[in-house]
Structure 1
Amino acid sequence: GRAEQDRARAPASLESDELHGHIAELVSAVVRTHAWHVQEFRGAASGAKDEFLRRCTERAFEASARLSDEKRRSLAQQRTLLETASQQRREETSAETAAKIHAELDGHLEALKHDAEHALAGCVLDEREHVGHRIGSLSVPVARVEGLGQSGQSFQQRSQASNALSAALMSLDRALTDDLPPSSELAALKELGAADAFVQQIIERVPEETLARSSGPVLTVPQLRDRFGELAPVAAAAALSPPSEGLFGQIGAAVVGRLLASNYVLPAAEHDPGIPASSPTAAAQRNLVALSRAAAFVEQGELGNALVTLQGLTGECSRRVADWTQEARHAMLLQQAQGELGNA
């Protein structure tokens, strides 16, 4: 009987040994594959590092060449100025010198006049826009009062409608402030708009996409400011990344962009006129300047100006901020509707 039991266990033991052998082979294959992938990734990283060093060296040489050119131009300008001054000193008559001085003064006066006219025109346009906004904000409540008087509603009905509108606006403000979905509050305002033409007109100006987006929480201005602060370095890295092709090229470009962006400060200057407008460097500089201006507007809570500025972004830099611009646009439209309803 014991011999029969030993013979019965033998196949089971054999199968277990075979299973362990297969498992060992699979583990060995996985380890080899992993080692191969690690070696391949190291090779790609080494290539990206070499490419980064090469590009940095090229840019350093380009910067050195530009500096040398600027130095030569500066010396040439100084030499020209010295020669001109020497020539003026050698002039025999003071009439010619006086004529040149008068010509320069006329040029300066003309430039000052042009600047003053430009500044005055800007002030007039700003004041006209400000007055237009004030007139527009007053026209809504005035037209609302006229409409209520023409509709024949009683004082009690108007009071009830006003109370309902105030309650709905308070609920909408609370939803936007507390990061809650404002869909039910907008639905209540839309229902009030059935009996109030002005409320209906304001609600109808809100795009359907924004109304559909209100089923989820709408980001507040502080939240949008924080997200843009996190997103700006990523967008700057995209602007600074060199052109790339293929998977490893994209990985290397992303690494280079992040390295450059980590030590880069968004510029506040205008585009350098010495750089051709069609060059990649000019496109990157335009993107960085737009990001800098947009960051200043976002910090001040001016979402409208920030969105207008971000429309100038191009390429991968524009795609990096696309989601943020959608969120900011929805939030701004809802805030505008809330403000108009509050003024009504």
Structure 2
Amino acid sequence: MIVDIDLSPLTVMVIDDSRYARSFMKSALQSFGVRTILEAGDGPTALQILADNKVDLMLVDHDMDPMDGVMLTRFIREGHVPSCKVTPIIMVSGFAEMEKVMDARNAGVNEFLVKPVSADSMFRRIRNALINPRPFVDVASYTGPCRRSVERDMPEGGNRRRNPPLPKPPPLIALPPGVAQQTIRQAVAQGQSASAGASEKTSRRRFAAGEVIFSEGEAGNEAYVIESGRVTIFKEVDGQKVALGELGASGVFGEMALIDDEPRMASAEAAAPTVCLVLPKATLKAQLNRTPDLVILVVETLLHDIRKMGRELVEARARLKHKRGG
């Protein structure tokens, strides 16, 4: 796992009725660089601590007594603790049923993390909550991060939204050129000399919003690392774009086709003005033997994608089962 953001200025609160779970999460947070960690064994104790302390992030267990994580999240989002009404909340649960996920989502959590928790999965949720925050909604029926993360078109060409999408907020934490970026830059610099005799050149490219970076079915000759901007990964289904996900700064994409020499499985499009570092196939393969951190970065990216597809498959099956049962 590569920690590419500075979490040392943050104050993080861990709320879990299991002493072991709190100890594990505290150790993981310390390994990420977090210096100030508060903890509570139940919801009421957490509220007492929050009344006197400003925190930047909360990890909340779902299953607690007398106030469970959903009740605690809803209480916070309702503004009973004004200093942390909009603070990112990551729900941690030993259950992954769609009903529990939806309850947490509707209460206003930013991320949902299933136990047993690994340091890698925890860091990814924390990173996403801080680097890619969603717009905050505060209306009579709901208070919390926007629950619509992807803009999708209706089959007839209309739009599901009746109102324009909310503006995307800036990151909650600075994203310096951390370890991941340094690794890529090192590979770029070394790759330029390694491929000096070849026609391929490592470069930085700029893409306008809406510009297609590559298309599904094309040969994969380059991998990309986002320096700034956002990229949407999508597939064409019956002539309609189906968004598979969106990546922000430091996101890696296009690497899979370079490793297995298969055509691109999906298309990539700049969702905003975007700058990418580009690694040609020759550069990537040359550096896999020379730069161990680059190997780790690529493998972690692939594992993250596999886990994400697994979670989405479980959710899709649950929705299908619910629909058939209804």
TM value normalised by structure 1: 0.21
Structure whose alpha-carbon radius of gyration is higher:
1
Answer 1 or 2: which has greater helix percent. 1
Between the two structures, name the one with larger relative contact order (CA 8 Å, sep ≥ 6). 1
TM value normalised by structure 2: 0.22
